[in-house]
């Protein structure tokens, strides 16, 4: 039996634009998915989920693909427990050249599904790490990240970027542009996360941006402008000390505000996300924006004081709020 965990993430800058080769800067946060795997004597998979922010369940099915199990559970949780885990297990089997090994897989997560915090990436990364080690195959971080990307790419019909999986594997702040992935410095930024209790449809939102970009030149220019914001922000993060100065946090916040405005123009924000963003800004946050695909889910703000947390707690659109510490460590064995 092997257990591995991997962190979720917030986007400082760059979601959606990263799909088109522009850079993105996600930061790993100390909210983790933990996956325990144990080899079976057959080729079946048994997947048990205890906490993905809705009621847990257990399913068992063969590992040869086919129809999804008939389970009374929301589609997104079922995808996390079957589609993403299936793809991750297949990558571990491929790495170990062990195509017929079955597993019992137990998933626990403190990352809400579909909320823009990288829940699927964390589950995939932790599953590949645990399952490959259970097959006596030691993968380095770069290979785990690559195989995790392949898993998400397959499940998301080719729309995935490397950003989420690379960040979850490596930890800290990372910069991703196409296939070019590297770690940045890891200043301790004062992240506050607000969650509206919902989730956007990533595939639908990505397709919507693609349609706008294909139809309107100014939408393509908006995507390119997000890339410009990212390039300015990554330089600030790279040059920051372990504890970012007030000046750095202030400028990062302004850039986050720009980024949110551009994402809003592309149609991926929502009333609840905008309500939380403005509550954070009016409370004195240096900046605030949606994080992830949008349409619902989470916003991230920069504020070292308690004011933003208090304001979000009092905001009707906000179901949960928490301070998110930067996770300097990525995937690890527990």
Of 127, 150, 184, the residue that ends a domain is: 184
Domain stops at, among 184, 212, 244: 184
Mean pLDDT for each 10-residue chunk of the chain (334 residues)?
96 93 94 94 83 46 47 51 84 94 90 83 96 96 96 80 93 92 87 91 87 95 97 89 82 97 96 97 97 93 96 96 92 96
Angle at 240 between CA 234 and CA 241, to 5 degrees: 150
- Rounded-to-integer distance, Cα 104 and Cα 60, Å: 9
How many CB atoms are located within 10 Å of the residue 2 CB? Answer: 18
Query: Quick one: 14 and 123 in the same domain?
Result: yes
Q: Are residues 99 and 212 in the same domain?
A: no
Q: What are phi and psi of 11, to 5 degrees?
A: -95, 120
Helices (H) and strands (E) in the chain, counts: 10, 12
| Cα-only R_g, the chain | 19
Same domain, 116 and 28: yes
Identify which of 209, 166, 155 has the alpha carbon closest to the alpha carbon of residue 19. Answer: 209
What pLDDT, on a 0 to 100 scale, did the predictor assign at position 56? 43
Q: Which of the listed residues 184, 215, 250 is the one where a domain comes to its end?
A: 184
Strands 103-109 and 44-51: parallel
Tally of domains within the chain: 2
180: which strand partners? 177
**Beta strands of the chain (E only): which ranges?**
2-13, 25-39, 44-51, 57-62, 103-109, 174-177, 180-183, 191-195, 287-290, 298-302, 320-324, 332-333
What's residue 50's pLDDT?
Answer: 63
Do 72 and 214 share a domain, yes or no? Answer: no
Q: In this predicted structure, what is the pLDDT of residue 57?
A: 44
Q: What is the pLDDT of residue 203?
A: 78
Q: How far apart are CA 43 and CA 132, in angstroms?
A: 15
Burial of 109-134, coded b for 16+ CB within 10 Å and e otherwise, reads bbbbbbbbbbbbbbbbbbbbbbbbbb
CA distances from 52 to 35, 56, 167, 181, 234 (A): 12, 7, 20, 28, 31
In this structure, are 41 and 132 located in the same domain?
yes
237, part of any domain: yes
Residues 211 and 141 in one domain: no
Domain presence at residue 65? yes
Domain encompassing residue 308: 191-324
Whether residue 275 sits in one domain with residue 228 = yes
Q: Name the residues annotated as catalytic.
A: 164
Whether 216 is covered by a domain: the verdict is: yes
Q: Write down the pTM of the prediction.
A: 0.87
29 and 147 within one domain: yes
**Residues 20, 168 within the same domain:** yes
Q: Which residues of 261-277 are buried (b: 16+ CB within 10 A; e: fewer)?
A: bbbbebebbbebbbbbb
- Contact between 120 and 152 under an 8 Å Cβ cutoff? The reply is yes
Which residue(s) pair with 4 in the sheet? 35, 333
Are 142 and 207 members of one domain?
no
245 domain-assigned: yes
Please tell me whether residues 170 and 205 are part of one structural domain: no
142 with 270, same domain: the answer is no
**Considering the domain boundaries, does residue 334 fall inside one?**
no
46 within some domain:
yes
- CATH number, domain with residue 274: 3.30.70.890
Distance between CA atoms of residues 174 and 48, nearest Å: 31
Lookup: tokens for 180: 């070019």
The CATH number covering residue 73 comes to: 3.30.230.10
Rounded to whole angstroms, the Cα distance separating 279 from 110 reads 25
Is 333 within a domain? Answer: no
Query: Do the domain assignments include residue 207?
Result: yes
Task: Dump the DSSP string for 170-236.
Answer: H-SBEEEETTEEEE-------EEEEE-S----HHHHHHHHHHHHHH-HHHHHHHHHHHHHHHHHHHH
pLDDT at residue 71, as a whole number: 46
Angstrom distance (rounded) from CA 181 to CA 321: 30
pLDDT of residue 53: 45
């Amino acid at each position: 039996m092997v257990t591995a965990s991997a962190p979720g993430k917030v986007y400082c800058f760059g979601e959606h634009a990263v799909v088109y080769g522009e850079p993105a800067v996600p930061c790993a946060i100390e909210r983790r998915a933990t996956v325990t795997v144990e080899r079976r004597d057959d080729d079946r998979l048994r997947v048990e989920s205890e906490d993905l922010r809705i009621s847990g369940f257990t399913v068992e099915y063969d590992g040869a693909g086919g129809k999804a199990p008939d389970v009374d559970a929301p589609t997104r949780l079922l995808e996390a427990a079957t589609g993403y885990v299936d793809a991750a297990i297949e990558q571990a089997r491929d790495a170990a050249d062990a195509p017929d090994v079955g597993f019992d897989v137990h998933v626990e997560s403190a990352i809400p599904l579909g909320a823009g915090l990288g829940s699927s990436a964390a589950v995939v990364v932790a599953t590949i790490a645990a399952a490959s080690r259970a097959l006596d195959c030691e993968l380095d971080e770069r290979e785990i990240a690559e195989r995790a990307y392949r898993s998400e790419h397959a499940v998301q019909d080719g729309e995935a970027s490397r950003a989420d999986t690379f960040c979850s594997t490596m930890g800290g702040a990372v910069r991703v542009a196409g296939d070019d992935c590297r770690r940045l410095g890891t200043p301790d930024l004062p992240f506050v996360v607000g969650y509206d209790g919902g989730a956007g449809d990533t595939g639908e939102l990505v397709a919507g941006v693609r349609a706008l970009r294909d139809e309107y030149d100014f939408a393509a220019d908006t995507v390119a402008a997000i890339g410009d914001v990212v390039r300015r922000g990554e330089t600030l993060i790279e040059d920051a000390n372990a504890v970012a100065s007030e000046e750095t946090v202030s400028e990062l916040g302004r850039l986050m505000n720009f980024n949110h405005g551009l994402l809003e123009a592309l149609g991926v924000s929502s009333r609840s996300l905008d309500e939380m963003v403005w509550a954070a800004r009016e409370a004195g946050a240096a900046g605030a924006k949606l994080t992830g695909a949008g349409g619902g889910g989470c916003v991230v703000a920069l504020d070292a004081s308690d004011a933003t947390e208090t304001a979000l707690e009092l905001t009707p659109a906000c179901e949960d709020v928490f301070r998110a510490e930067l996770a300097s460590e990525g995937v690890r064995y527990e």
